[in-house]
A and B are shown apart, each in its own frame.
Chain A
Amino acid sequence: MKPFLVLLLKELKSIKKEKTILFAILIQFFIASFSSIILIGIMSFYDPTSIGDNTHVTIDVGVVGNNSKTMVGFLEERNLTVKPYDNINNAEEAFQQGEIDTIMSIPPDIDGTVDMTLVLPKADTSKTLILMILNEPLRKYENYFREINGIDLNYDDMEGKPHTTREFLYAVIIPILMLFPGFIAGSIVIDTISEEIESKTLDTLWSAPISLNQILGSKVTAALIMAIFQCILWIILLRFNHFTVHNAVSVLMLSFMIAACISLSAAMVALYFKDRERAQFVFSIILLFVAGCSYLLNPSPFDIITRLASGDHFISTCSIFIYVIPLTILTCIFIIMSKRLIRFKT
């Protein structure tokens, strides 16, 4: 056990010396920083109306038409400034002078149908933004006419907090943050092993009274310690930002087991190919393959993390511990095969 610990400490020291851990944290900080901007970007794909929700911009709406009282009410509910105009010409003049941002011309309804005209700026960007701000009042106005037409929409009076941010955080960001350190760990294992093989230092080390598995095990363990350290750091960082990762221990255990599976596979790939170039390339394809396969699982590791982190009551511990099986199998294969793999000529 002692030589193993010595090697492990050596690995960790080299990580410290090369300041690689700083890079890892820098990368994560970068992701974190981007997350809020990407958040809105992706959220707008995921749920286009969220742009309207996240915009506190208010606009001045010019309204023309005698039949507009109800609409004005909906606009004011959204905290928009409404300016009434007698006729469309006056309104258009005000629009061109920049006094109002948009004009709603509302004719009287004919048999429950209204053809409203909306004047918008030609520029694409402001047009989109204004449309998104007006979306909610327009929908309410539409429902108002539906009611007049005798159509009753169910579930239209539900309220709730805008969910997109939370959904995106738990469904995308947290799983990525918990699994990403594992991917990096795999890459690091390939780096350290292939570096030792390519610079022929592994042979020297092996001639000392240490088994090959101890040498390789120390490298895998060092990478795993780093991975789990990053995951813990993330959970703390998220906490500082008022986001709670529920069931943190279970989430960490799952992340650890997945990182361990990845690292052991990476070690075997590195032992087989013996050079960084091929090993990294094959590793990245295998990762793609495994990620694809795991997505087809139900529940996928991604979903398990999502559900655990969001505090779901119906996720069983069984779905975490099932990952002990591949981990055990991979560990056994690794222990048995390591010597054979390294002697394999490619």
Chain B
Amino acid sequence: MKNILIISKKEITRVKSRFTGKSRLIVLSVLALALIVSFFVYKQELVMGQGLYTIGVAPNGPAITDQRFNTISLDRETAIPSLYGKTIDAYVLPNGVMYRGDPRSQYAVSALKKYLEKEEIDRISKEYEIDLAFPLRVKIKDMEAPEFQPNNTTGNPLSSASGIEQDDTFEPTISETGKDISTESEIIDTTNGDIEATDTPAGESSLIPIESECDDEVLRQLEDYHNSNGLPKFEAEFVSDSDIIIPSLMTPPTPLAQVILAFLYVIPIFFVSVFFTSSFIEEKVNRKLIVLLSAPITPLQIILGKMLPYIIYSIIAIITITLILKGSVFLGLAIFIPVMLFILAIYLMVALLYRTFKDQTFFSVLAVWVITGYLVAPAMFSGVSDLSYVSPLTLAVQMYKGESFGLTEYLLSTVPMYLTFGIAVFLGTRIFNEEFLMGFRPLHTKLADAIYLAINRSHLYLSVFFINLALIPIVFMVQFASIVMASNLPMPYALWVLLAVSIIIEEIAKSTAIVVLLKNSVINSKRQILILSFISALGFLIGEKLLLYIALSVVSQSMFTEALFGAGLLIVPFIMHFIATASVCLLTARFGVKYFPAAIIAGSVIHAVYNLYVIGVIG
């Protein structure tokens, strides 16, 4: 412990010494400027796509204040040629809109419709009694139901989005007619021909409004609706779903505010990561590492010592953010400590695996994207899909929505984080030697060397077993990323590609350790290969089933998880894992490490045949 503290102290002094004299002044002033500008940006309403649509508005038309619309005041005579010439996307009249049938105009109209609908709701809520303006109130009654199984799924929601957009290459011809035009080649006019029509205030209605118990609820929702500007409020305490729904005031519970809040925790850690990785670089460049390694201090102490200041800094950041946002400090720490450890683990690997400065930048950028993607993408689906629980940010989203989550959800999202940290630190200590850290070799050789160094040669079998067990969370994350990538493809292909990719990943994971041993001539007999394949398959299977056990209790029904993790008896999949791994390793032993990729393909084919049999495609 003393050694760790000494290293930590040195690390703090090192970073401090970086910013003395003039450079401190410069850094502080740049930081202050950035904060001031960020404040001004925050104060402004965030509008993406300013001026994306160009809209002509009649002189007596409505005022359009949404900045996405670049509005031009036009009379009808000039508007029609402009619409025809595609210089404007739509023309707004007091009681209707004229537009073309081509995609560009159609998209503009759809956006316009959303905006004008809101304006209309505003108008009628001011002009009429609320009973008349909001005549439909939907009371929600919750009831226990069997698992929700949507029928007739014609496409998954993920893959369909990529197919929505079409080119704007369509050439319209225009002729002005009534509103019932269905072909894309004409101007559509929704004004009913009565351009000068104005709204008739209906103050004196013959209906006498009856005070309904729902009226207060309508008023409250109406107020929310006005304040929210259509977007959910940016505040920690989210308004929970109401029991009464007014269809036109209904905004589905999207967790935008919570996801942003949850991501706030990650940013401070990203910002200091450059100091953490640089700490190792400096030691490499200045060859101080050799001195450090000769001192009576273990690699684990060096790594933990260098990490400690950043861990303490992150914990302080987590507590501060939680207190500012008025969340639960205990939950905040429980959720974000694993996240912080996960990020530091990835940066540790970046620092230890890089070869040149440019590598470092690319590894770091890649790390930022991977971490952000892994954490944020699933969290955006919290409340929509149970798969969102793979990310701990989902737990934070739940926390800030004032909703609870169970221990299984907590474990599913955080255990892979803790494990990744453990593995990274373990691997870090094993590869922490001069020859490995200083060498410039191709990346795959470097990774193979790292695995070789991780194996304890006096406990060969035990090492291979644990390597396979430990690889599970990494395989799980890679497979999760592959789900994301596969979702770009149309449905049946997505499933096939996913199946193929996950099989190949599993085969690589199971056989790599053995192949590394083969390459370094630690093992050579067929008997050893078979025993190691057996152990490797066993380690992998145990890890896989453990994960499956946690996953299944959270993610109950998903075709993807079904395909990824399989199911069924334990002995049959074990035999399959064993045969596939043994084939890969024996083939590699026979033809040489150069043919490892070919051997992987062969092993994957065996694995695939088994999977297809289980799914029921064959046999």
Known A56-B153, A58-B152, A142-B134: A292·B34 in contact at CB below 8 Å: yes
Q: Within the assembled complex, what's the spacing in Å between the Cα atoms of A173 and B606? A: 41
Known A37-B377, A243-B165: A155·B150 in contact at CB below 8 Å: no
Quick check: which of A2-10, A201-209, A248-256, A299-307 contacts chain B, the rest being far away? Answer: A299-307
In A4-61, the 8 Å CB interface with B consists of 15, 18-20, 23-24, 26-27, 30-31, 33-34, 36-49, 51, 54-60
Contact of B247 (CB < 8 Å), options: A117, A138, A284 = A138
Instruction: Determine whether B110 belongs to the interface, using a CB cutoff of 8 Å to chain A.
Output: yes
In B88-112, the 8 Å CB interface with A consists of 94-97, 99, 103-104, 106-112
User: B residues within 8 A CB of A31?
Assistant: 369
User: A residues within 8 A CB of B214?
Assistant: 115
Q: Contact check, B153 vs A57: say whether CB atoms are below 8 A apart.
A: yes
User: B residues within 8 A CB of A146?
Assistant: 124, 132-133, 135
Q: Contact check, B124 vs A151: say whether CB atoms are below 8 A apart.
A: yes
Instruction: Determine whether A342 belongs to the interface, using a CB cutoff of 8 Å to chain B.
Output: no
In A215-255, the 8 Å CB interface with B consists of 241-244, 246
Q: Within the assembled complex, what's the spacing in Å between the Cα atoms of A62 and B344? A: 52
Nearest-Cβ distance from residue B376 to partner chain A, whole angstroms: 8
Known A98-B149, A155-B97, A307-B52: A33·B488 in contact at CB below 8 Å: yes
Nearest-Cβ distance from residue B248 to partner chain A, whole angstroms: 6
User: B residues within 8 A CB of A135?
Assistant: 247, 250, 252
Q: Within the assembled complex, what's the spacing in Å between the Cα atoms of A336 and B128? A: 69
Q: Contact check, B135 vs A292: say whether CB atoms are below 8 A apart.
A: no
Q: Contact check, A141 vs B136: say whether CB atoms are below 8 A apart.
A: yes
Q: Contact check, B54 vs A313: say whether CB atoms are below 8 A apart.
A: yes
Instruction: Determine whether B298 belongs to the interface, using a CB cutoff of 8 Å to chain A.
Output: no
Quick check: which of B274-282, B455-463, B582-590 contacts chain A, the rest being far away? Answer: B274-282
Quick check: which of B304-312, B379-387, B419-427 contacts chain A, the rest being far away? Answer: B379-387
Q: Residues 104-138 of chain B: 1 if any A CB is under 8 Å from the residue's CB, otherwise 0?
A: 10111111111011001000100010011111111
Instruction: Determine whether A86 belongs to the interface, using a CB cutoff of 8 Å to chain B.
Output: no
Instruction: Determine whether A154 belongs to the interface, using a CB cutoff of 8 Å to chain B.
Output: yes
Q: Residues 165-193 of chain A: 1 if any B CB is under 8 Å from the residue's CB, otherwise 0?
A: 11111111000000000001001101110
- Chain B residue nearest to A191 in the complex (CB): B357
Known A116-B136, A156-B120, A160-B99: A44·B161 in contact at CB below 8 Å: no
Q: Residues 138-157 of chain B: 1 if any A CB is under 8 Å from the residue's CB, otherwise 0?
A: 11111111111111111101
Nearest-Cβ distance from residue B121 to partner chain A, whole angstroms: 8
User: B residues within 8 A CB of A150?
Assistant: 132, 202, 205
User: A residues within 8 A CB of B383?
Assistant: 124-125, 128
Contact of B157 (CB < 8 Å), options: A55, A275, A278 = A55
Q: Contact check, B355 vs A18: say whether CB atoms are below 8 A apart.
A: yes
Instruction: Determine whether B365 belongs to the interface, using a CB cutoff of 8 Å to chain A.
Output: yes
In A93-116, the 8 Å CB interface with B consists of 95-98, 101, 109-116
User: B residues within 8 A CB of A54?
Assistant: 157, 160-161, 164
Q: Contact check, A122 vs B142: say whether CB atoms are below 8 A apart.
A: yes
Nearest-Cβ distance from residue B116 to partner chain A, whole angstroms: 4
Q: Within the assembled complex, what's the spacing in Å between the Cα atoms of A313 and B484? A: 36
Instruction: Determine whether B166 belongs to the interface, using a CB cutoff of 8 Å to chain A.
Output: yes
Q: Residues 248-268 of chain A: 1 if any B CB is under 8 Å from the residue's CB, otherwise 0?
A: 000000000000000000000
User: A residues within 8 A CB of B202?
Assistant: 150-151
Nearest-Cβ distance from residue A265 to partner chain B, whole angstroms: 12
User: A residues within 8 A CB of B38?
Assistant: 288, 292
Instruction: Determine whether B436 belongs to the interface, using a CB cutoff of 8 Å to chain A.
Output: no
Q: Contact check, B361 vs A38: say whether CB atoms are below 8 A apart.
A: no
Nearest-Cβ distance from residue B30 to partner chain A, whole angstroms: 5
Q: Contact check, A154 vs B96: say whether CB atoms are below 8 A apart.
A: yes
Q: Residues 343-369 of chain B: 1 if any A CB is under 8 Å from the residue's CB, otherwise 0?
A: 000000000000111111111011001
Contact of A36 (CB < 8 Å), options: B18, B22, B161, B245 = B161
Nearest-Cβ distance from residue A311 to partner chain B, whole angstroms: 6
Nearest-Cβ distance from residue A185 to partner chain B, whole angstroms: 10
Q: Within the assembled complex, what's the spacing in Å between the Cα atoms of A31 and B365? A: 11
User: A residues within 8 A CB of B167?
Assistant: 242-244
Q: Within the assembled complex, what's the spacing in Å between the Cα atoms of A113 and B104? A: 39
In B560-574, the 8 Å CB interface with A consists of none
Q: Contact check, B384 vs A125: say whether CB atoms are below 8 A apart.
A: yes
Main secondary structure of the interface of B (DSSP, over half): mixed
Quick check: which of B42-50, B321-329, B501-509, B517-525 contacts chain A, the rest being far away? Answer: B42-50
Q: Contact check, A23 vs B384: say whether CB atoms are below 8 A apart.
A: no
Instruction: Determine whether B193 belongs to the interface, using a CB cutoff of 8 Å to chain A.
Output: no
Instruction: Determine whether B618 belongs to the interface, using a CB cutoff of 8 Å to chain A.
Output: no
Nearest-Cβ distance from residue A290 to partner chain B, whole angstroms: 9
Contact of A56 (CB < 8 Å), options: B155, B271, B373, B487 = B155
Contact of A131 (CB < 8 Å), options: B23, B212, B252 = B252
Q: Contact check, A346 vs B205: say whether CB atoms are below 8 A apart.
A: no
Contact of B30 (CB < 8 Å), options: A18, A127, A285 = A285
Residue from the set B34, B112, B144, B373 with the largest chain A CB neighbour count within 10 Å: B34
Nearest-Cβ distance from residue B23 to partner chain A, whole angstroms: 5
Contact of B108 (CB < 8 Å), options: A125, A160, A306 = A160
User: A residues within 8 A CB of B97?
Assistant: 155, 158
Contact of B381 (CB < 8 Å), options: A41, A160, A276 = A41
Residue from the set A41, A135, A273 with the largest chain B CB neighbour count within 10 Å: A41
Instruction: Determine whether A149 belongs to the interface, using a CB cutoff of 8 Å to chain B.
Output: yes
Residue from the set A15, A48, A117, A275 with the largest chain B CB neighbour count within 10 Å: A48
Instruction: Determine whether B443 belongs to the interface, using a CB cutoff of 8 Å to chain A.
Output: yes
Residue from the set B87, B113, B134, B145 with the largest chain A CB neighbour count within 10 Å: B145
Contact of B104 (CB < 8 Å), options: A60, A276, A307, A311 = A311
Known A135-B247, A155-B120: A142·B135 in contact at CB below 8 Å: yes
User: B residues within 8 A CB of A330?
Assistant: none
Contact of A114 (CB < 8 Å), options: B137, B153, B359 = B137
Q: Contact check, A122 vs B145: say whether CB atoms are below 8 A apart.
A: yes
Q: Contact check, A165 vs B165: say whether CB atoms are below 8 A apart.
A: yes
Instruction: Determine whether B208 belongs to the interface, using a CB cutoff of 8 Å to chain A.
Output: yes
Instruction: Determine whether A121 belongs to the interface, using a CB cutoff of 8 Å to chain B.
Output: yes
User: B residues within 8 A CB of A18?
Assistant: 355-356, 358-359
Instruction: Determine whether A312 belongs to the interface, using a CB cutoff of 8 Å to chain B.
Output: yes
Contact of A244 (CB < 8 Å), options: B131, B132, B168 = B168
Known A158-B113, A191-B361: A284·B106 in contact at CB below 8 Å: no
Nearest-Cβ distance from residue B36 to partner chain A, whole angstroms: 9
Nearest-Cβ distance from residue B377 to partner chain A, whole angstroms: 6
Instruction: Determine whether B445 belongs to the interface, using a CB cutoff of 8 Å to chain A.
Output: no
Q: Contact check, A282 vs B30: say whether CB atoms are below 8 A apart.
A: yes
Q: Residues 36-62 of chain B: 1 if any A CB is under 8 Å from the residue's CB, otherwise 0?
A: 011011001000111110100000000
Q: Within the assembled complex, what's the spacing in Å between the Cα atoms of A312 and B44? A: 24
Known A15-B358, A138-B136, A161-B106: A37·B124 in contact at CB below 8 Å: no
Instruction: Determine whether A320 belongs to the interface, using a CB cutoff of 8 Å to chain B.
Output: no
User: B residues within 8 A CB of A123?
Assistant: 145, 148
User: A residues within 8 A CB of B70?
Assistant: 312, 314
Known pairs A121-B144, A149-B132 / 12 extra A-B pairs, C-beta < 8 Å: A27-B362, A31-B369, A37-B487, A139-B247, A150-B202, A155-B117, A160-B113, A163-B111, A244-B168, A282-B30, A299-B51, A306-B52
- Give 26 CB contacts A-B under 8 Å: A36-B488, A45-B259, A113-B135, A114-B135, A116-B136, A125-B384, A141-B136, A142-B134, A142-B247, A155-B97, A159-B109, A166-B103, A170-B49, A184-B361, A184-B365, A195-B356, A195-B357, A198-B285, A276-B281, A277-B274, A296-B44, A312-B54, A314-B72, A346-B21, A346-B22, A346-B23
Residues of chain B touching chain A, judged by Cβ–Cβ distance below 8 Å, are 18-19, 21-23, 26-27, 30-31, 33-34, 37-38, 40-41, 44, 48-52, 54, 68, 70, 72, 86-87, 94-97, 99, 103-104, 106-114, 116-117, 120, 124, 128, 131-155, 157-162, 164-169, 179, 188, 190, 199-200, 202, 205, 207-210, 212, 214, 231-232, 245-248, 250-256, 259, 271, 274-275, 278, 281-282, 285, 355-363, 365-366, 369-370, 373, 376-377, 380-381, 383-386, 403, 443, 484-485, 487-488
